[in-house]
Structure formats: C-alpha cells, structure tokens
Structure 1
C-alpha cells in the first residue's frame, strides 16, 4: 500500500469540471465485485428433485412471469430442465421425457390427453392448441416447491454484482460544522417499553423517547473504516470546501491531516476529541480531495493554515473539449440541426463552440480578470442552435451580468456588440431598443403589436437596474439570431 496520503484541492471558476473530477476519483475508491456463479445455486435447487418436480418448478417459475400456457419446447429450453439433464448426463430423448411426465400426471377426464399409465395425482393438462398448464387444484401440493423457488430467486438477486465504496462525499456550506464532520451531540429517537407505575395495572406501552448522544461525523466514520482495513485506501471527497468555515469544521483535526502527522508516520500525532474526549489520529490510508470555486469571493475565505496542507490543482476552461454545431438553413425560421462531427463542414453554416468560449474568455480576462472566466461545462452538452440560444439567455448572460454589475458598455464589449446594428446586438440599450422599435413598425407587428412588444421586452428581459435588455430576438430564436454569423463574431 502507498503510505503517502493525498491532500488535494481542485480550484477553478464555475463549470471547469471540478465536481466531475471528484466523481471520477470516487470510482478509484470503489470495488466492483463480480457476480457469483449461479451454477452452484441451480445444482442445490435441482439435485434432489425428480423430473415431475422439475417440470412443476418450471410451471411455477413461468407463472410468476404471467405465463400460464407452456409448450414442450419451452420446457426443454428452460434453465431448470437444461441443468437437470446435465446433472443426469442426459442429452438424448429429452423431449420424450417431458412428454411422458406431462401425460402421466394429467387428469383421467382430460379432453386432450390420451394416456393409459396415469399417476394417481394429476398436475398438468393440455388445451386444444397443444399448450400445457398447471392444474389449479395442484397448487396446494406445490407449496414447498414454491418456497424453494422463491429462495433460489432471492439468492440470485443477492449474488448480483456488488460495489463497495471506500469513500464518503460531503458538501460544505455556511452552516456545516464540526458536529457533522467530526463528532457532535445530536438527538436520537429510540423506541423502548416503559411501565406506568402511576396506573394500578401492569400495562406496558411502547414509547418513542428522544435523548442526546455523541455521534461520529462523516470524516470520523470514514477514518474508523480505514483503520479497520489498513490494506485499502479510503477517501473523503469535499465539494465546495471554501463554502464552510474550515477551521470550525476541522477543529483539532487541522493538524492531524498533514501527511507526516498521520498514524504510523514519522511525526504521528493524536488529539483528544472535543466531545467524546477519546484519543484519535487520522489513518495514513485516508486521502482528502476537495473542490474550491475561485469565484465565490463573498463566501468564507479558505483558511490560510489549510493552504499549506493541500496541493492545489488549477482547473482551467478547456474550449478544445467543445463541439462544432451546424445550422442547416439560414432564415428567420431556421431550426438548428443535430451536431455533425465530420471535418468537412461548411464553415459558413457552422458554429464552433470552443471558439465562442475562447473569445468570450479572452475579453473577460482583459476586463475582469481570470477569475471571472466561463467554464466549458456551460457549452459542453449543446447539440444545436436552439440549445445554444437557451444557454446564452438563461446561464451565460446572467453569469456575466453578475460579474460586471450589469454595466451596459462592459456587457456589450464582451459580446462584441458596440459596432453592430441594434437588431444584431446580444445586449441592448433599452432606450435605443424602444426608439428602433418605434421607427420600425414591422418589428412591433412581428411581435404582436408595438405596445405589447415593448412592454413585454422591458418587463420580461430587463435585468439588474433596467440598464440593459437581452435582445428579444435572441430569446425568441428569430431574426438575425437564427443565423450563424451572429455567433461567429464572438470568436
């Protein structure tokens, strides 16, 4: 086992795949156990049964699957029949065996089965189509077989592939504390029985009582599992570590998580826990991974002491991961086609999402700094123009409004809107928009009337302090925003 603990924090702006990174790490701390071979279960089920009981078991099994009528070829193909034939080293005349059992155990008054040497107990009968069925009056005789079948199927379910997780994932927030992460006194509701001494009878009644007890938090529970399994590595995965008060959450463990302070290491340390008072040290086979959004300036700052205990890995936006989408037609009613990944696309009809992200981020970095950049996750799953328009309106523009404080000149610079005609601007000056609409009656008519158009645009699309509006045609997926060139100029 590698005895070098990993303490790593993935940092970056929103949408750079930090949480995705944690999910990938979780897979490395998951054991995938293969399913158990069912042949032994089948053997145990069938080895003491004769052919009659095996065929009854087949009928019971298919009955549970809502199949009442069964033909002989289906019986021969069933796993119970195949296994029993293998146990008996039989590979010939199996059809005759099935027919003999079915006919022998048919009722004497059957209208479809003619057989001389019938058994005393009937189980099966045949309809005029040649399909066999289980006689309802035989079911009480098959109770034990039904129970064996149920146990077999339950054992099969239990023996499916299993996973064992050697990690625990938590999300820090401003109310998250030491009590949830390490240990704390929390209410416990337990059911017990009490006698009422004030009553003359000795009647006992169940009562739900609440009491308080010291309970282990997520990190302490994981550490105890790791201490009991020293040959395996365990991990605590913390999403948004800087959203919590790190010093308060970790408490005295802040010193213990250093690699050389772990149990068994050169400078191993133990402390007495705050509530229970018991001695505790962090096992060397526990790794700590966390994410930190560098844009969360309003949240609790990351404790300086934690910075020297972790490696910081910067997650940058990755435009190269984004696809190119193709726009099939170019007119006001254009609908975007599905993403076409071929290399010979007509660039006039294509929109390179990676170039859009790179262009936006270049202008964002120039004006607002690197920590205001957009992550590639904003555009990662886009397959057509309508999806791109929706993400721009509902996610990207609101994000940039927040980081720019809603400043119109800055927003227009980010979207290369300054030198564009007003109908092709992503972000518009409200007054310029109204003037343009009043001077172009065709625009207002297209949107259902001048007053309605202006009113809806100002009411529905005005953000912040009404210093700007999102172009209504971008919201409506019409006009110039149905054409690729508008998005290509964001490169």
Structure 2
C-alpha cells in the first residue's frame, strides 16, 4: 500500500509535492496519510532526564526561557514571581549553564522582563520595548505572564507538557524517546473554512492583573493550521514539512485556501522562478508558501452529495488512485458439518476466501451501481473468523449496500447472489413474504428472476424499493450461516 513516489526526498528541498489520494471508502487512503506522517517524524536518540531538559532549552531565547519559567510556576499554582525566584528556577539555571554564564543573571532577567512589558504598564519603565508584550509586574515587584500572550506560547506550553510527562515517567535505569513532528494533520468538513486553515479572527481575554481581575474580551488575528506549519518550515529551511488533509472534498476548497490557491503550486512557491506573494486577507501580511512544504490529501469518490472538487485543484495536485485490493485479504477456515450415509456428523474444514468475496461483490456492484460504489478492502481487512465475517456483513457491508442501492430489494438480492436461492438461504429477504407463503417462494420468484440472466437484462429491470430484512439466521449466527458454502456463494 506504500506509494514510493510520495516519499519525501531529503536531498530535494526546493521541489514541493502536492498529492491527492482518491478512491472509494475503505481503500486505505487515510492509512496512507498516517504512513506519510511517519516519514515527516524525526526520532531523536534516547535521552536522560537531564538531556531532555538540555534538548528543550537549547533552541530557546532568554525571553522564551523566562516565559517557560512563569508557565511552569503557573502550573504549580504560582502566578507571581520576583526576579530572584525566576533566576533560581531550574530552566533558567540550565540555560545559563548552556551559555556558560555565571554572572549578571539578574540583569539578564530584568532586561528581558522590561523589554517585553506593555507600553501602558504603570509599574515598568523602559525606553526600549519590543513590539510584543509578554510580562508585567504588580506594585510589589512580582512579575506575571500577560493572559493575551498565552496564545503565542502554545508551542512552549506543549513542550513543557511533554517534558513534565517524560520526567514523571522517568526511571533511573531507563531513557525517554523524543519525536519531532514536521507535519500538521486536519480533517476537512462542510463548516471548515479559511479562518481555521489560513488565518482568522479569534476572541482573546485581556490580561489578568495582580489583583486577579479579568480583562476585557477582544478579537485578534490568529494563524490557522496551514500558516503555522508554513512558519515552522520557513524557520527550518533544511527540512521538509507536510500538510496532511483528510477528506479534502468535504469542504469548499476555494474558500478554505483563499488567496493561497495559486501559491500552493510547486512552481509558484518562494524561491522558485515564478514565485508569487500575496497579502493575507485579514492581517494584510505579505506571504509566500515555502518550497519545503508538501501537501497530501485524501478524497472519497463516493461522496456524490458533496460539491465537486474545483478543477483548479486538479491542476495543482497529482491524483493517485487507491483502488480496492482484494489480494491483501486473508482466507479463513470454517468448520462445516457433513452428513454421511450413516447419519453421523463428520466435521470438515472449509475455506472462505475473503479476496474472492470482495472481488465478487465489486464485480456485481460495478455492473449495477458503477465503479464509485465499490467496497474497499478495509471492510474485510480484520476478518479472521466466521463470526467476525458475519459481524462485518451485518454491521458494515449490508448497511453500506443498502444506502448505495436505496434499499431496493432486487438490487440487494442480486449483489448477494440471492435471486435463485431458497428463502431460508437468502442473505437479504423480502420482509413482505408471510411465513405461510415461503414454501412457494421459488414459484413466486420465477418470472421475476428471468430478467437477471445477463447483466444487460438486469440493468433493464425496473427496480422498485421493497421492504427487506436480513436473514434472521445470519443475525443469530446459526443454521446454514455457520457453514462455508453460504459465503462461498458470494464469490
């Protein structure tokens, strides 16, 4: 199932890959995305607890380290901290050791805190402030994190959570594994839009002061999933990053991508000869999609009720078909009962070939409903006993085919090869036939079944939705439905 052509190249950072995997339900499209995700995951060497802390702090600036200290204190129910407490924290101490710093640490902390304080602060005086404020202090000289800076610290929050989890699970004789994910995975749906994917306006609660009063709610422009990934890729140009989109045709693709619809083309990425740059809709920032971002998506071709994929997307993506693969399925054994001349029960082992069942279903489905109604191999993937096969038929395959056929009894019985079978051996039965009439069922069906001798004859029939029922013996897992020959009839 692995598509070698989609494997990211570590030597080709400048060439972007855009691929959409298409196919019916159950053909492993989402599984393909999960396999691709592994290719964009780096597993670092096993690290001790101290090495974990070193790994966390190495790329951080002093401002990020101070933020991390205050976040950690906040998790310990301490929202305020004076400079000596901050400098004495293990994160600050470890960062100083990495930088071979032993002097003027208080001055370093003061400088960072003051520089990143708000202009409107009544307790901090500073001539050189950064554009973004993160800290403020109260009248007692204790510092705290501004609440409206928290959305900007999501990555630090996540790293802190992972560090604490690793420290909690740490054992003296063991080490911890760290993985870095160079991808983002989202699932499109009808309500998914530009605001979630690129950028949008989100509510933010203002800073909480030293007395604990909550601030006013305001609305800020915040980056969406794709823009966040692109920012990471821009700051790490030697690595490839991936945007993984499940069910891309479930959303209005033009609306979700907006002005980026042109920018995602490989030859229009930043650094390319035909590179394009646009101003983002909300923030007005100039932006170009980096060349080291790949986009992979899935598209279910059975979703006829959804809007067709925009033709512009077809020009920007390679389309890889994911057909059903019966050859991946197993053969299971069923214990049949054979009656010999002495009326003694003699058990015999009979095989049920799941590949032949799927191939038989799909052959009849294509003849009647078209290729886009086929069943994927995932419907029978985990089957290893007759009992699990029965469950798959009752709970997955029959409901799927009922929906595809609109519940038309004649179509369902054709798909299950039921037309010429005795009433008691049919998978799908006519629910209107009374018990007293079942003995003459074959006679009642003779004329109707005459039209099913050939596929063309079948397609010419007028299908009328009739009430149906699943054979009670199949539901009860009893009678003939415990034997292999019933299921072999589906080949």
Decide: shared fold, TM above 0.5. Answer: yes
For residue 175 of structure 1, give the secondary structure of its aligned residue in structure 2.
coil
Number of the residue aligned with 2:409 = 408
**Kept after mapping to 1: 8 A contact 2:337/2:348:** no
2:181 and 2:378 map into 1 onto residues whose CA distance is 27
**Kept after mapping to 1: 8 A contact 2:278/2:288:** yes
Q: Does 1:485 align with 2:482?
A: no
For residue 192 of structure 1, give the secondary structure of its aligned residue in structure 2.
coil
Q: What is the CA distance between 1:210 and its match in structure 2?
A: 2.2
For residue 208 of structure 2, give the secondary structure of its aligned residue in structure 1.
strand
Structure 1 24/465 Cα, relative in aligned 2: closer, same or farther at 3 Å?
same
What are the Cα deviations for residues 6-48 of structure 1, in whole angstroms up to 9, with x where unaligned?
Answer: 000000000000000000000000000111368999xxxxxxx
Q: What is the CA distance between 1:330 and its match in structure 2?
A: 3.1
1:152 and 1:40 map into 2 onto residues whose CA distance is 15
Number of the residue aligned with 1:134 = none
**Once structures 1 and 2 are overlaid, which stretch shifts more, 217-226 or 204-213?**
204-213
2:410 and 2:50 map into 1 onto residues whose CA distance is 73
Q: 2:233 aligns with which of 226, 229, 232?
A: 226
Number of the residue aligned with 2:370 = 369
Q: What is the CA distance between 1:184 and its match in structure 2?
A: 0.3
TM-score (norm 2): 0.65
Structure 1 39/252 Cα, relative in aligned 2: closer, same or farther at 3 Å?
closer
Number of the residue aligned with 1:125 = none
Q: Give runs of aligned pairs for residues 49-128 of structure 1, distance below 5 A.
A: none
Q: Give runs of aligned pairs for residues 10-409 of structure 1, distance below 5 A.
A: 10-36=21-47, 160-193=176-209, 204-330=211-337, 349-409=350-410
Number of the residue aligned with 2:469 = 469
Gaps of 5+ in 1: 42-149, 195-203, 333-345, 441-463
1:304 and 1:205 map into 2 onto residues whose CA distance is 54
**Kept after mapping to 2: 8 A contact 1:330/1:482:** no
What are the Cα deviations for residues 127-177 of structure 1, in whole angstroms up to 9, with x where unaligned?
Answer: xxxxxxxxxxxxxxxxxxxxxxx9999696995110000000000000000
**Kept after mapping to 2: 8 A contact 1:173/1:243:** yes
1:40 and 1:20 map into 2 onto residues whose CA distance is 34
Q: What is the CA distance between 1:435 and its match in structure 2?
A: 3.4
Structure 1 216/158 Cα, relative in aligned 2: closer, same or farther at 3 Å?
farther
1:17 and 1:291 map into 2 onto residues whose CA distance is 10
Q: What is the CA distance between 1:189 and its match in structure 2?
A: 2.8
For residue 35 of structure 1, give the secondary structure of its aligned residue in structure 2.
strand
1:244 and 1:40 map into 2 onto residues whose CA distance is 44
Q: What is the CA distance between 1:206 and its match in structure 2?
A: 2.1
Q: What is the CA distance between 1:193 and its match in structure 2?
A: 1.6
TM-score (norm 1): 0.65
Structure 1 422/276 Cα, relative in aligned 2: closer, same or farther at 3 Å?
same
Q: What is the CA distance between 1:328 and its match in structure 2?
A: 2.5
Gaps of 5+ in 2: 1-10, 53-165, 340-346, 442-463
1:292 and 1:368 map into 2 onto residues whose CA distance is 19
Number of the residue aligned with 1:199 = none
For residue 26 of structure 1, give the secondary structure of its aligned residue in structure 2.
helix
1:280 and 1:396 map into 2 onto residues whose CA distance is 47
**Kept after mapping to 2: 8 A contact 1:192/1:209:** no
Structure 1 347/233 Cα, relative in aligned 2: closer, same or farther at 3 Å?
farther
1:256 and 1:465 map into 2 onto residues whose CA distance is 49
Structure 1 192/152 Cα, relative in aligned 2: closer, same or farther at 3 Å?
closer
**Kept after mapping to 1: 8 A contact 2:247/2:300:** yes
**Kept after mapping to 1: 8 A contact 2:205/2:214:** no
Instruction: Note the aligned Cα RMSD (angstroms).
Output: 2.8
For residue 490 of structure 1, give the secondary structure of its aligned residue in structure 2.
coil
**Kept after mapping to 2: 8 A contact 1:9/1:291:** yes
1:256 and 1:321 map into 2 onto residues whose CA distance is 39
Structure 1 430/156 Cα, relative in aligned 2: closer, same or farther at 3 Å?
same
2:214 and 2:51 map into 1 onto residues whose CA distance is 47
1:410 and 1:151 map into 2 onto residues whose CA distance is 60
What are the Cα deviations for residues 101-136 of structure 1, in whole angstroms up to 9, with x where unaligned?
Answer: xxxxxxxxxxxxxxxxxxxxxxxxxxxxxxxxxxxx
For residue 184 of structure 1, give the secondary structure of its aligned residue in structure 2.
strand
Number of the residue aligned with 2:124 = none
Structure 1 291/39 Cα, relative in aligned 2: closer, same or farther at 3 Å?
closer
